[in-house]
C-alpha cells in the first residue's frame, strides 16, 4: 500500500511552502512544513547557546530529550508548530535561525528525532508534506512525489521579496550566494541529502505563476498518465488509427489508472463490484498514425450514485487527438445497479482545475 502523502521536495526558496500550502487548501487536507521542524530545533537549541560553530551531537541529543514538538490545528484547520508549549511563529524565519537550521539538519541525531515525528503524520489521512527528503527518506512509498525547482536568480528574487527573511541591506547577489551555500550544504551532507527521488515528478517553476504550478501538480494528482506506441493492429490500410480502436485505448488507460490507484478490476470483482461500460462520448480532433508515441491521460470526472464518468484524453506530443467520456455503471454480482463503493471514490480523487 502506498502512503497517502503528497511529498513536495526541493531546494531553498523554490516556492515549496507557497505551493504546498495552496495544494492543501484546495484539497482541504493538512499541510506539514518539515523545514519548520528543523527551524524549531534550531530555535530551541539556540536558546541553549548553540550556534553554527559549536554544534556537538552529544549535547544536541540531550537538548532533544527535553524538546516537545507538536502541531496544533487552529480554527481554520491550519497547523502551527508548538515548541515546548510555545508558538515561535515568525521567529523561526529570522536569518539567524535559517542559517543555523541547515548545519543542524546534517546531524544524524536531529534527523532521527524528526523522522519519527514526521512519519506519525501519516495517520491524519491524505496530507501534503514539504521538505528535502520526504520522497526519498521519510515517505519513500508516497503516492505522489514532486520535486520543485527554480533558477537561482528567481529563487533569490523571491527570497528578497519575503520581508524579515533576509538580513538588512541584503542584495540580490548576497541572497543568491546565501541560497547557493545552503543548497550545497543540504545536498552534499551524507545523511538524507537533498535530491530528487527517482519516481518524483520534477517541476521547474521559473517564470510560472503560483496558480500555474498548483494546477500542474493538481493535474498530476488527479490524472493517470501513460504512453503507448501505435502498432499495425491499431490502424487501417492507410496507417491511420481506426476510430473504434480509441475505445480500446480508453479502456487500457482507465485500467492502468485503477491499477495504479491500487484498485484493479480484479480487486473490485473480489469485493463484488463490476463496472460495465454504459455510455461513451467521443470527440476527435486529429488522427494518430502508425508508430506515433501517444500519451494517455485519464481521470475521474464525475461520480454519481451508481455510475462514474472517466475522462480520457490522448495526445501526440502537445497535440490533443481525442477526448472520450466513458460512463461506467456499478453493478453487483447479480447484475443489479449498486452504489459506487467508497474505496473506489477515495482511490481516484475528483479535483476540478
Ligand atoms: O525549507 P526550509 O528553508 O524551511 O528548511 C530549513 C532547513 O532545514 C534547510 O536548510 C534544510 C533543512 N531541511 C532538511 O534538511 N530536511 C527537510 N525535510 C526539511 C528541511
Q: DSSP of 23-45, one letter per residue?
A: HHHHHT--EEEHHHHHHHHHHHH
Confidence of residue 164 (pLDDT cuts 50, 70, 90): low
- pLDDT (average), residues 285-295: 97
First to last CA, the chain: 27
Distance 75 CA to ligand 1 centre (A): 27
For residue 12 and ligand 1, the question of a CB distance below 6 A is answered with: yes
For residue 205 and ligand 1, the question of a CB distance below 6 A is answered with: no
State which ligand 1 atom lies nearest to the alpha carbon of 34: 19
User: How do beta strands 293-303 and 307-316 pair?
Assistant: antiparallel
State which ligand 1 atom lies nearest to the alpha carbon of 93: 4
CA 244 to chain centre: 36
Nearest-5° angle of CA 97, CA 98, CA 104?
Answer: 80
Question: For the domain bounded by 224-352, which CATH number is listed?
Answer: 3.10.129.10
pLDDT digits (tens, 9 = 90+) for 9-40: 999 889 999 999 999 999 999 999 999 999 99
State which ligand 1 atom lies nearest to the alpha carbon of 189: 15
Choice from 36, 155, 182, 186 to test ligand 1 binding pocket (greatest atom count within 8 A of CB): 186
Q: Where in the chain is the domain with CATH 3.10.129.10?
A: 224-352
Residue 165 has pLDDT above 80, yes or no: no
Residue 341 has pLDDT above 70, yes or no: yes
Across the chain, what does the average pLDDT equal? Answer: 93
- pTM (2 d.p.): 0.91
State which ligand 1 atom lies nearest to the alpha carbon of 130: 18
Q: For residue 236, give the 3-state DSSP assignment.
A: coil
pLDDT digits (tens, 9 = 90+) for 68-84: 998 888 877 788 899 99
- Whether 268 contacts 340, CB under 8 Å: no
Q: In the CATH hierarchy, which fold is given to the domain comprising 3-222?
A: Rossmann fold (3.40.50)
Q: Which of 252, 256, 234, 251 is nearest to 243 (CA)?
A: 234
pLDDT digits (tens, 9 = 90+) for 214-246: 999 999 999 999 999 999 999 999 999 999 999
Q: Where in the chain is the domain with CATH 3.40.50.300?
A: 3-222
- Mean pLDDT lowest among 37-46, 53-62, 212-221, 343-352: 343-352
Here the cell at position 241 is: 488509427
What pLDDT does residue 1 have? 86
Instruction: Please give the Cα distance from 27 to 127 (Å, whole number).
Output: 9
- Whether 206 contacts 151, CB under 8 Å: yes
Distance 98 CA to ligand 1 centre (A): 9
What pLDDT does residue 163 have? 63
Residue 345 has pLDDT above 90, yes or no: no
Choice from 81, 88, 91, 102 to test ligand 1 binding pocket (greatest atom count within 8 A of CB): 102
- Who contacts 269 (Cβ-Cβ below 8 Å, separation ≥6)? none
Q: Which of 107, 19, 2, 124 is nearest to 61 (CA)?
A: 107
Residue 289 has pLDDT above 90, yes or no: yes
What pLDDT does residue 333 have? 95
Amino acid at each position: 500500500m502506498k502512503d497517502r502523502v503528497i511529498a513536495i521536495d526541493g531546494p531553498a526558496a523554490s516556492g515549496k511552502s507557497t505551493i504546498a500550502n495552496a495544494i492543501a487548501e484546495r484539497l482541504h487536507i493538512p499541510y506539514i512544513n518539515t523545514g519548520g521542524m528543523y527551524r524549531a530545533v534550531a530555535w530551541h537549541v539556540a536558546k541553549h547557546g548553540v550556534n553554527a560553530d559549536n554544534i556537538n551531537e552529544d549535547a544536541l541529543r540531550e537538548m532533544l530529550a527535553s524538546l516537545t514538538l507538536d502541531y496544533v490545528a487552529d480554527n481554520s484547520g491550519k497547523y502551527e508548530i508548538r515548541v515546548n508549549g510555545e508558538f515561535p511563529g515568525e521567529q523561526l524565519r529570522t536569518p539567524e535561525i535559517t542559517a543555523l537550521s541547515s548545519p543542524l539538519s546534517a546531524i544524524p541525531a536531529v534527523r532521527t528525532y524528526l523522522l519519527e515525528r514526521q512519519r506519525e503524520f501519516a495517520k491524519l489521512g491524505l496530507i501534503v508534506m514539504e521538505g528535502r527528503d520526504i520522497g526519498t527518506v521519510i515517505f519513500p512509498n508516497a503516492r505522489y512525489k514532486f520535486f520543485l525547482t527554480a533558477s537561482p536568480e528567481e529563487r533569490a528574487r523571491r527570497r528578497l521579496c519575503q520581508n524579515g527573511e533576509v538580513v538588512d541591506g541584503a542584495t540580490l547577489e548576497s541572497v543568491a550566494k546565501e541560497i547557493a551555500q545552503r543548497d550545497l550544504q543540504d545536498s552534499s551532507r551524507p545523511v538524507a541529502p537533498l535530491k530528487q527521488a527517482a519516481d518524483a515528478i520534477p517541476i521547474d517553476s521559473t517564470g510560472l505563476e503560483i496558480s500555474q504550478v498548483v494546477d500542474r501538480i493538481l493535474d498530476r494528482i488527479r490524472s493517470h498518465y501513460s504512453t503507448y506506441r501505435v502498432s499495425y493492429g491499431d490502424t487501417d490500410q492507410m496507417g491511420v488509427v481506426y476510430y473504434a480502436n480509441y475505445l480500446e485505448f480508453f479502456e487500457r488507460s482507465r485500467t492502468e489508472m485503477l491499477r495504479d490507484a491500487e484498485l484493479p478490476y480484479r480487486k473490485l470483482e473480489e469485493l463484488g463490484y463490476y463496472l460495465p461500460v454504459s455510455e461513451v462520448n467521443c470527440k476527435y480532433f486529429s488522427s494518430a498514425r502508425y508508430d506515433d508515441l501517444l500519451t494517455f491521460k485519464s481521470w475521474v470526472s464525475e461520480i454519481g450514485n451508481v455510475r462514474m464518468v472517466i475522462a480520457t484524453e490522448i495526445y501526440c506530443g502537445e497535440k490533443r487527438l481525442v477526448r472520450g467520456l466513458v460512463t461506467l455503471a456499478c453493478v453487483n454480482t447479480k447484475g443489479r445497479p449498486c452504489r459506487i463503493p467508497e474505496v473506489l471514490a477515495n482511490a481516484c480523487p475528483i479535483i476540478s482545475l
